[in-house]
Structure 1
């Protein structure tokens, strides 16, 4: 142990439950999308009905992105994890560009994984800056750090991001028709 302070990290079952539900709903959404778009199964055509596409889908996205944001607060190194996700996002986009050359399925330029990756990097940078300004205490103080008398000022940054992200998710279907058509991909 070498005199290091070891903290046992516990999982929060409620967050894990919400994450699991959101992942199952996303898998359901993508499965029925493939069944309809690729195989033409009419039984799952409800995916494009307004109640599902403009209400159900944004709720699932809001839960998934909210849980991802909350999880970022508990991460020891959000920046490292965010950079790995950005690299994965770039690789996913490159792969869809390559596959689109053969299949004309479509290119994924910016999707949920891109949103989570970019949000994680931005959150990690802002959190580090806020800790330097002593607006929020460091979540993982190092043993060599001297204890400071910092008055904790509640920060509302996470809540503001969740609210703005949720508003953005519900506004996206209204903005989508205005944007230029970049891809044939129905999941953009």
Structure 2
């Protein structure tokens, strides 16, 4: 048997996580080179193909891998709360740095999305286990009649609702 499968790792998920991380580091590096140091050779980051096509693909892969990994976490709530605390600290740091460098404050970014989504997923997972839509990973009972399609449907409907809710909040969020 494949050694990576024995350890409980999913190589495809690890590959996508690594790819998303490398692409995100690339994006942030060229953004800093252009925005902070005014290097023109990375001006392509504002082009249509990069900003409107490439960036959403990287974000989609990153958020999909993050969401998929939540199901494999032993305690999604604990992990989510740690991420929320980290995102609050990141916002506090940008407020502090903006006080003397005027670099801008990050109120809500990808790390905030992942953190809050992880907490919401943990709550939805508890509900799904209680309603017996999905099995409890700690339980040995495999003979129950679970309805995983209800849990997936619930998450999809919630996601679609939030996608349509996003543009409605645009006037409320400062630029």
> What's the TM-score once normalised by structure 1's chain length?
0.79
Give the distance between the partners of 1:162 and 1:64, measured in 2 at CA.
19
Q: 1:49 to 1:180 in 2, by over 3 A?
A: farther
Number of the residue aligned with 2:40: 42
Question: In structure 1, which of residues 122, 125, 131 is the aligned counterpart of residue 123 of structure 2?
Answer: 125
| Offset, 1:182 | 3.5
Equivalent residue for 1:3?
none
Question: RMSD of the alignment, in Å?
Answer: 2.7
Decide whether the 8 Å contact of 1:36 with 1:45 is kept in 2: yes
Equivalent residue number for residue 144 of structure 2: 150
- The corresponding residue for 1:160 is 156
SS of 1:150's equivalent? coil
Paired position in structure 1 for 2:3: none
Residues of 1 paired with 2:66 and 2:154: CA distance? 11
Alpha-carbon distance in structure 2 between the residues aligned to 1:141 and 1:153: 16
Aligned CA distance change for structure 1 residues 80 and 35 (closer, same or farther; 3 Å): same
Runs of 4+ in 1 over 2 A off after TM superposition: 161-165, 178-183
Q: Deviations over 1:52-86 (max 9, x none)?
A: 11110010000000000000011110000000000
* Cα distance in 2 between the residues matched to 1:110 and 1:87: 13
In 2: Cα distance, 1:11 partner to 1:114 partner: 26
In structure 1, runs of 5+ residues without a counterpart are 1-7, 184-188
The TM-score with structure 2 as length reference comes to: 0.84
Residue among 28, 35, 41 paired with 1:30: 28
Q: Hey, what's the Cα distance between the residues in 1 that align with 2:20 and 2:51?
A: 16
Task: Give the length in aligned residue pairs.
Answer: 166
| RCO higher in structure (CA 8 A, sep ≥6) | 1
- Structure 1 residues 181 and 70: CA distance shift in structure 2, 3 A: closer
| Residue 99 of structure 1: aligned partner | 97
